[in-house]
Amino acid sequence: MKIFAYCLREFDEKEFYDTICAEYGAEYSYTTAYPSPENVELARGYDAISITPCDMGEHMLDLFYTVGVRYVATRSIGFDHIDLAHAGKLGMGVSHVSYAPETVADYAIMMMLMCCRNICHILDRSAIQDYTLKGKMGKDLCDCTVGVIGTGQIGKTVVKHLSSFGCRILSYDLYPNPELAGLTEYVSLQDLYAQSDIITLHTPATADNHHMLNADAFRQMKNGVIIINTARGALIDTEALIDAVESGKIGHAALDVLEHEDGLYYANRMGDPIVNRSMAILRSFPNVILTPHTAFYTRKVVYDMALKTIKGIHDMMTGIENPLVLVR
């Protein structure tokens, strides 16, 4: 089993790849760069590639197939960056990973608390030794109605953990989760928009929910609503979000993911002019928090992602059943 890893982080992932590949008898090599047409040749002679979210559409899959790659393993829960249908046509196996939902769920709740208590504004003013109270008053999470969109593993955990705060919880999902009976009320998306003080997204990105939160959705929400996104940037129409912040419709937004973040997040761009005007505008707002896709980032999760990536490749190659295999 020969694996070539793209975007491998030497400061954390490499330690785990060294150990886990040795346990599986796998040979691996890597680059810290994202896969591109210019570096596809690095994977020649390897059975599989390990990637993070990046462009893995039809053209890139064709290029990797040409150099002999037959398996693609993404070190992420999300797999919307991979053209699964085309991989299937080529006969390329595809797998993804899973990890404990508490990591992202608690990060989302942390962001809710930060927004409710104006923490960024408090810290900014404390940094210049302004310790006055004016303009720093927050609100209690227990007095809020929180709308949770998507109650899969992470959304379900958000609901369970939020229930300890005493807030009212509304949920929307195409498939209501029976485990959450008594903890949340399932409502229509329109009712969730209209009644929620805080809305948090926990659904995968699909063609059907692209820009789910758009100008029309924002118009249906309460004035001063708080928006939390630790899921996928494509769920929010960024330009509409900017308009809603500027108009005051959105009181706070906390975004761990952003449209067009590929090639930006996880890279050191210090001193570079960054070609993402929407990001620049959002960063200028004192009531918007941007974090660079780090909600997942704990030592346990990084280890699990490495382990399940390598095991996914092993199981695809050996025919072992694995629920994380998307295409065989």
Cα 151 to Cα 180: distance, rounded to the nearest angstrom: 9
215-256 confidence digits (pLDDT tens): 999 999 999 999 999 999 999 999 999 999 999 999 999 999
Per-residue pLDDT tens over the stretch 147-200 = 999 999 999 999 999 999 999 999 999 999 999 999 999 999 999 999 999 999
Alpha-carbon distance 21 to 4, whole Å? 11
Tell me if 2-99+298-327 shares its fold with 102-290.
yes
The pLDDT of residue 77 is 87
| pLDDT value of residue 186 | 98
What CA–CA distance (Å, rounded) separates 295 from 76?
12
pTM: 0.89
The tokens for 262 are 């590929």
Q: State which amino acid sits at residue 38.
A: E
Write a three-state SS string for the chain.
CEEEECCCCCCCHHHHHHHHHHHHCCEEEECCCCCCCCCHHHHCCCCEEEECCCCECHHHHHHHHHCCCCEEEECCCCCCCECHHHHHHHCCEEECCCCCCHHHHHHHHHHHHHHHCCHHHHHHHHHCCCCCCCCCCCCCHHHCEEEEECCCHHHHHHHHHHHHHCCEEEEECCCCCHHHCCCCEECCHHHHHHHCCEEEECCCCCCCCCCCECHHHHHCCCCCEEEEECCCHHHECHHHHHHHHHHCCEEEEEECCCCCCCCCCCCCCCCCCCCCHHHHHHHHCCCEEECCCCCCCCHHHHHHHHHHHHHHHHHHHHCCCCCCEEEC
* pLDDT band, residue 211 (cuts 50/70/90): very high
Domain 2-99+298-327 has CATH 3.40.50.720: yes
Q: Domain 102-290 adopts which CATH fold?
A: Rossmann fold (3.40.50)
Percentage, residues of the chain above pLDDT 70? 100
Place of tokens 């829960």: 77
Active site residues: 232, 261, 293
Closest of 136, 168, 164, 169 to residue 151, by C-alpha: 169
Compute the average pLDDT of residues 116-125.
95
**Is the Cβ–Cβ distance between 254 and 114 less than 8 Å?**
yes
43-69 pLDDT, tens digit per residue, is 999 999 999 988 999 999 999 999 999
pLDDT of residue 10: 96
Q: What is the pLDDT of residues 255-274, one digit of tens each?
A: 999 998 877 887 788 898 88
Map out the domains of the chain as residue ranges.
Answer: 2-99+298-327, 102-290
pLDDT, tens only, 77-110? 889 899 999 999 999 999 999 999 999 999 999 9
Tell me how far apart the alpha carbons of residues 6 and 234 are, in angstroms, rounded to a whole number: 23
pLDDT value, residue 266: 79
pLDDT at residue 269 in the model: 84
